[in-house]
Amino acid sequence: MLRIAVQSKGRLFEETMALLEESDIKIPSSKRILLVQSTNFPVEILFLRDDDIPQSVACGVADVGIVGENEFVERNEDAVIIKRLGFSKCRLSLAIPKDIEYAGLEWFEGKKIATSYPGILKRFMAKNNIKSDVHVITGSVEIAPGIQLADAIFDIVSSGSTLVSNRLKEVEVVMKSEAVLIGNKELSQEKRDILDEILFRVDAVQAAEDKKYVLMNAPTDKLKEIIEALPGIKSPTVMPLAQDGWSSIHTVLDEKCFWEIIGKLKSLGAQGILVLPIEKMII
């Protein structure tokens, strides 16, 4: 049995549970239960505060955990990053009142900075030879300059709307963060085998993200030009149709370039273009 530590609430919780569901790891939806076992896979989910996950993994209370990279780096626990998961992306940035002119990092010399991430901030300032007064706040960091508690803040930024609403501007990005799968360094072989199967499923789910399966009919004499226009994973599948002079082409397209490619295909004579979603993709 592999124990996975997961954030108990919030956006990271929702995206983590969605990933497990897409990987066909069924977790009963029980509220106020600390530990829940999967009904179809040898894993159990331990629900914790995000800042408790790195320590729980490092000391073996949980075998692996899914947590924001920012929390993992801040806690500096003896665990390893196994995989970057690509969701819950954000950045840790320094921000100051928007009306203040900013000339560079030296502005922070001697300034009081409010943050919930003192470890990351102190290491960054030491690296850049800046001496500042770090003031630790556990919540609502963004209001600190407005109530004269601090000159600046160091906090998570996603869209930036919270900064704008508090009349702040982002001036330095210290690190970028996303959800990561972290693991204990002393996993048994049995637990590693379970983890490998989870990683295989997660890879298949993530490989299918933003991908479309496309089928089309095309004039056989245009096949070479059409295939050259396709940026698919590998060479597309081509099959002859019952009607002479026509072929069926099957391929996978990235959604971000989909409409541009479809336009080219139509101009080359492709017809009956069928677009299907992809749930899983084994590469």
Pairing mode, strands 64-68 and 179-183: antiparallel
Whether residues 35 and 74 fall in one domain:
yes
The whole-chain average pLDDT of the chain stands at: 93
- Tokens, residue 92: 């840790």
Q: Rg of the chain over CA atoms, in angstroms?
A: 25
Whether residues 202 and 76 fall in one domain:
yes
> Nearest to residue 205, comparing CAs of 122, 280, 121?
280
In a domain, 260, yes or no: yes
- Cβ neighbourhood burial of 203 (10 Å; 0-12, 13-18, 19+): middle
In a domain, 282, yes or no: no
Whether residues 84 and 182 fall in one domain:
yes
Whether residues 105 and 167 fall in one domain:
yes
Whether residues 45 and 110 fall in one domain:
no
Whether residues 172 and 197 fall in one domain:
no
- Domain limits for position 10: 2-88+178-207
Candidate from 32-36, 148-152, 203-207 with smallest mean pLDDT: 32-36
In a domain, 25, yes or no: yes
Looking at the structure of the chain, the number of domains it has is 3
In a domain, 233, yes or no: yes
In a domain, 136, yes or no: yes
Whether residues 148 and 167 fall in one domain:
yes
In a domain, 283, yes or no: no
Whether residues 73 and 201 fall in one domain:
yes
pTM, to two decimals? 0.87
* Residue 231 pLDDT class (50, 70, 90 cuts): confident
In a domain, 224, yes or no: yes
What's residue 232's pLDDT?
58
User: What is the strand order of the sheet 211-219 is part of?
Assistant: 237-240, 246-254, 211-219, 271-277
Give the model confidence (pLDDT) of 95-122 as tens digits.
999 999 999 999 999 999 999 999 999 9
In a domain, 262, yes or no: yes
* Residue 32 pLDDT class (50, 70, 90 cuts): low
Give the chain's end-to-end CA distance (angstroms, integer).
Answer: 27
Kindly state the average pLDDT of the residues 215-241.
87
What CATH number did the domain enclosing 229 receive? 3.30.70.120
Q: For helices 189-207 and 11-22, what crossing angle results, to 10°?
A: 90
Sign of CA dihedral 212, 216, 222, 223: positive
Whether residues 111 and 69 fall in one domain:
no
Whether residues 184 and 230 fall in one domain:
no
Whether residues 144 and 187 fall in one domain:
no
Kindly state the average pLDDT of the residues 233-246.
87
What CATH number did the domain enclosing 96 receive? 3.40.190.10
Whether residues 110 and 185 fall in one domain:
no
